[in-house]
Structure 1
Amino acid sequence: MRVDERVEEAVREAYRAVIAKDGDRLAAALAGLDEREAETAIRYAVFVVGFIVKDVFRNGVAEAELLGLADKVIASESSWVNLGPREDLGRLLAAAASGDIASSTTDRADVVGNTFVVGGFLLTSFRLNDQRWWNYLDEIWTAMEAAG
């Protein structure tokens, strides 16, 4: 799948907003997208989360590890956003890793917002020591394009 440049910039801005812990900026980053573009942005964000989860847990993902990661995300981001219960976030992480995000929760707004927040956290937390988050994102999107 080739990355759509317009959607790519909106997603990058959404991650910048998450890293800045700015909910209004996050909402604005995605507000200009039409329905098709918004769906594409969500697919990109889900791929990012799933890619990083699988990269971090290379030997397979256990529920306890996902809940531990959910705790870290919540501890880092709770000052500016309510991500809900750790179990819901753990299910979102598992669903993204499996590629089936629809099974994570029934509240679509939570899936959208939480997927971007989690993605921003993961990009900054699990990049290489000498790597910028946006370079890590470029590597992930290169993998997404290669996967078709």
Structure 2
Amino acid sequence: MRVDERVEEAVREAYRAVIAKDGDRLASALAGLNEDEAQRAVRYAVFVVGFIVNDVFRNGATEAELSGLADKIIASESSWVELGPREDLASLLSAAAGGDVTATSTARADVVGNTFVVGGFLLTSFRLDDQRWWDYLDEIWAAMEAAE
């Protein structure tokens, strides 16, 4: 499946907003998408989160590892956004790693925002030392296109 260019730019802007810790910019990045495009943007973001979780925890993440990662994300992002309880964020990480965020305990309304915030954190935290986050994103989306 080829990444939709219009949706791709909105997702990139959403990640830029997360990295800048700017909630208004995040909302604005996704505001111009129609319902179908918004669903596609969330699917892309879920893939990013799942890809990185599976890349970091190559043998599968334990509940303790996901909880620890959720704690790090909350500590990093809590100055500008409320992500909810650690357990919900760990559940979102686990569900994304499995490819199905409908399996998460995170409230449906929080899944969209949390998925982008988590993805932005993961892109900057787990990229290679000499790699820019957007280059890492390009690699992840290339993998998504190859897989589908």
- Per the TM superposition, whether the score is higher than 0.5 is yes
**What TM-score, normalized to structure 1?**
0.99
Moved over 3 A (4+): none
Aligned length: 148
Task: Give the Å deviation of 1:59.
Answer: 1.2
CA deviation vs aligned residue, 1:20-76 (integer Å, no higher than 9, x gap): 000000000000000000000000000000000000000111000000000000000
Partner of 1:112: 112
| 2:92–2:106 contact (8 Å) kept in structure 1 | no
Instruction: Specify the alignment match of 1:146 in structure 2.
Output: 146
Which runs of 5 or more residues in structure 2 are unaligned? none
SS of the residue corresponding to residue 66 of structure 1 reads helix
Partner of 1:75: 75
Distance 1:107 1:32 in 2: 23
Q: CA RMSD in A?
A: 0.7
Q: Distance in 1 between matches of 2:78 and 2:12?
A: 21
Preserved contact between residue 67 and residue 86 of structure 2 (Cα < 8 Å):
yes
User: In the alignment, what sits opposite 2:137?
Assistant: 137
Q: With structure 2 as the length reference, what TM-score do the two structures score?
A: 0.99
Contact 1:2/1:145, CA 8 A, preserved across alignment: yes
The C-alpha deviation readout for 1:101-143, integer Å capped at 9, x for no partner, is: 0111362220000000000000000000000000000000000
Unaligned runs of 5+ in 1: none
